Amino acid sequence: MFCNNPLLIKLKKKLEKKISIIEIEGTVRSTKKKFGFLETNTRKFYFLSPEEMKKVMHGDKVKAEIIFKNNKEIVIIKKLLTPILKKFIGKIIKKKDVFYIIPENSLIKKTIFCNRENNMSKIFEEGDWVFAELIQHRLKGYKIFFAELIEFIVNSNDPFYFWSIMLSKYNLKKKEPSIDIKENIKFISDELNRKDLTSLEFITIDNENTKDIDDALFIQKEENNTIKLIVAIADPTSYISVGSKLDKIAENRSFTSYFPGFNVPMLPRSLSENLCSLCPNEKRPSLACEIIFSKDGSIIEKKTRFFLAWIKSRKQLTYLNVSNWLNKKGSWKPNSLSIEKKLILLRNFSLLRLNWRKENALIFKERPEYRFQINNKGEIVNIYIEPRRIGNRIVEEAMIAANMCAATFLFKKLGFGIYNTHIGFDLKNSKFTVEFLKKYKIFLDSKNINTLKGFKELHFIINKLGDNYLEARIRKFQAFGKISIFPKPHLALGLKVYATWTSPIRKYGDMINHRLLKAIIKKEKIKRPKKVVLIKINEQRRKNKMAEKEIQNWLYANFFKKINEKDKIYSAEIIDVYKNGIKARIIENGAYVFIPLFFLHSKKNEVVCNREYGIIEVLKHIFYRISDILLVTIVDIQINKRSVIACPI
């Protein structure tokens, strides 16, 4: 009887006028609580109620309606545009006889229904990590989220289960190539015309446990105070022909993957650690480079020679023993006077080359390397700092010199190869860098700093000033190194061209350069590397680095959880500034930690985090800068997020 009441009709129309609807698109962001937010492309955030969050997952891209009613803003999600989960990795759990899968992504807090069987009739167990596919989404009209299990990865009881998860996540191989060596390799007969250098006293210097030994050195003094160095490199291409099954495997893998306590070789171990490895007292085929250095440390280019050779390493030495002996520490010493003389000459050579590079190229500040000690249960026992000592520098200087020679040789003879390049700064950062430096009364041109001369000039100025903040900030602006078919400068090394060929049993790009160098030596027809191979190498390198980073962060989180030293004080260097805090690296063990903004200053409205300049200001005064050293304690460890939270003291 009230439906036609004039007063009610008038009131209804009045209320309807106060309701308006706007359509938006955005990405769902979850929180620690049940509510969430919808983030638009313009970085605006809209509140999502717990009821709306039940429909979606963190990361889903959706279409929604904002309803404005009586000055209230209500967001209703209407349509799924792109789900965050399609094919994903997750862990199977069991609750009250019902099986669920939890996504590996720690930001997705949903437990998703699943069956224990897949279409291959595989029975999955609780604790299994698997690939799954989301086939039911609540925004698609289903009552529940449901996933179909596709492929078994590893069980949680496996001591190295996390390594397997990360390798699967980035589509990297978990084991060495499974291939019958006897059927798939043979020594290439047309390479039998090799120079016999087995009478020369070559030595190798590596880590104690290295089995895939890829370089050996012979050195002697020549007339006029010149030095002759022969760098002999293991030659897997003498067994692996172009386009063969094993060659395609190496191309697809592109690299040997090195992770703490775990490595996956590019080539079968019987090849990389035996048949091709430059093991002591074994005759091995190699590609050699003879380099003559003048008394000032420069390379006499016209005397550089590449040739095929047979060598026999006399001794396998370690970085530790060589460094200790040269620094007159420890009890180890070479077993012959001739090796003693060679080590002394190698030390003098490395110092000579280091000085030459300081004056003619670029050498950046050395940073310590950290080594994880992992037991056979996949547990982290300890973390050690490994400083770069004289033994490491000997090999490093020899390899850099050999790579410089290869780059020049390929450039002059072919004009192409697999080159390591570095552009310095991209266009945006080069302009910003120039503006940034003006504040420190350093006036440079944005185009000039991306030339070899200008880039070197910039870093000579920074090094002379000795300002850690400037050095760290400029380093942050720089682009990443890339691989190119055509020769381009490597500005970070301060070199016109640079091409690696010294690790062919670990890098496919080095194998390609071996084949190019050998083709020049043998005067064969030469094909330019295909661009698709270059893309694959760059992508595999990126995925290797990402997997390594995630594994290291997970190990660090477990390490702090294990030692439970929340009161211990650590020194940490600030390496980045975010809008909500600081990223720092603990100097003692290399762990990355995050320091939230509220630990830095209690009043958020008084703080400005400037990521571009790498500073944090409180009331317009600089309180923290990149490169500053803080004393911190560990206050929280989040294993699932691979995150360690610290607080300054």
Which secondary structure element, helix H or strand E, spans residue 534, and what is its range?
A: helix 531-563
What is the number of structural domains in the chain?
5
331 and 264 inside one domain: yes
What is the b/e burial string over 225-251, where b = at least 16 CB atoms within 10 angstroms of the residue's CB? eebebbbbbbbbbbbbeeeeebbebbb
Residues 418 and 431 in one domain: no
Q: What pLDDT digit, counting tens, does each position of 341-394 carry?
A: 999 999 999 999 999 999 999 988 788 889 999 998 999 999 999 888 999 999
Is residue 58 domain-shared with residue 149, that is, in the same domain? no
User: In terms of DSSP bridges, do strands 621-625 and 615-618 run parallel, antiparallel, or are they unpaired?
Assistant: antiparallel
- Provide the pLDDT for residue 4: 63
Both 342 and 491 in one domain: the answer is yes
Measure the CA–CA gap between 70 and 11, rounded to whole angstroms. 14
Whether 639 is covered by a domain: the verdict is yes
Beta-carbon contacts of residue 536 (< 8 Å; ≥ 6 apart):
251, 252, 254
Read off the pLDDT of residues 446-471 as tens digits, 9 standing for 90 and up.
889 999 999 999 999 998 888 999 99
Does position 1 have pLDDT exceeding 50, yes or no? no
Task: Identify the pLDDT of residue 317.
Answer: 97
Is residue 390 domain-shared with residue 537, that is, in the same domain?
yes
7 falls within a domain: no
Q: What is the CATH number of the domain that holds 115?
A: 2.40.50.640
Q: Are 295 and 222 in contact (CB under 8 A)?
A: no
Domain that includes residue 117, residue range: 88-157
pLDDT score recorded for residue 183 = 78
Percentage with pLDDT > 90 across the chain: 78
The CATH number assigned to the domain holding 605 equals 2.40.50.140
Residue 163 lies in a domain: no
Work out the pLDDT band at 411, boundaries 50, 70, 90. Answer: very high
4 domain-assigned? no
- Per-residue pLDDT, averaged over 47-59, amounts to 96
Q: What is the mean pLDDT of the chain?
A: 92
**Of 134, 157, 180, the domain-final residue:** 157
Residues 413 and 345 in one domain: yes
Angstrom distance (rounded) from CA 629 to CA 565: 20
Same-domain pairing of 351 and 224: yes
Instruction: Quote the CA–CA distance of 15 and 10 in Å, as a whole number.
Output: 9
The pLDDT of residue 446: 87
Q: Does residue 3 lie in a domain region?
A: no
What pTM value is reported for the model?
0.89
Q: Which amino acid is at 213?
A: I
Query: How far apart, in whole angstroms, are the C-alpha atoms of residue 192 and residue 287?
Result: 12
Share of the chain above pLDDT 70, in %: 95
Q: Any idea what DSSP says for residue 275? A: I
- pLDDT digits over 275-290, tens only? 999 999 999 999 999 9
Pair (236, 366) in one structural domain: yes
Q: What is the pLDDT of residue 439?
A: 87
Residues 631 and 498 in one domain: no
Per-residue pLDDT reduced to its tens digit, 200-245 = 999 999 999 899 999 999 999 998 889 999 999 999 999 999 999 9
Question: Which is nearest to 500 in space by CA: 604, 406, 565, 414?
Answer: 406
Closest CA to 271 of 211, 224, 219: 211
Q: Which of 551, 581, 599 marks a domain boundary?
A: 551
| pLDDT score of 401 | 98
CB contact at 8 A, 239 and 271: yes
Region 263-284: what's the mean pLDDT? 95
Neighbours of 409 (CB within 10 A): 24
- Asked if 101 and 247 sit in the same domain, the reply is no
The two tokens of residue 591 are: 């762990």
Both 239 and 386 in one domain: the answer is yes
The answer to whether position 216 is within a domain reads: yes
Model confidence at 188: pLDDT above 80: no
In a domain, 559, yes or no: no
241, part of any domain: yes
The candidate with the shortest Cα–Cα distance to 392, out of 361, 369, 360, is 369
pLDDT band at 9 (very low <50, low <70, confident <90, very high): low
Terminal alpha carbon distance of the chain: 73
User: Who has greater pLDDT, 125 or 2?
Assistant: 125
541-600 pLDDT tens trace: 999 999 999 999 999 999 998 887 667 999 999 999 998 999 999 999 999 999 999 999
Amino acid identity of residue 115, one-letter, is: N
Domain stop point among 551, 577, 599: 551
**pLDDT tens-digit profile of 295-325?**
999 999 999 999 999 999 999 999 999 999 9
Residues 346 and 449 in one domain: no
Distance CA(249)–CA(242), nearest Å, equals 11
Positions marked catalytic: 206, 212, 214-215, 319, 506
Q: Which ranges of 361-449 would DSSP assign to H, the alpha helix?
A: 390-413, 427-438
Confidence of residue 122 (pLDDT cuts 50, 70, 90): low
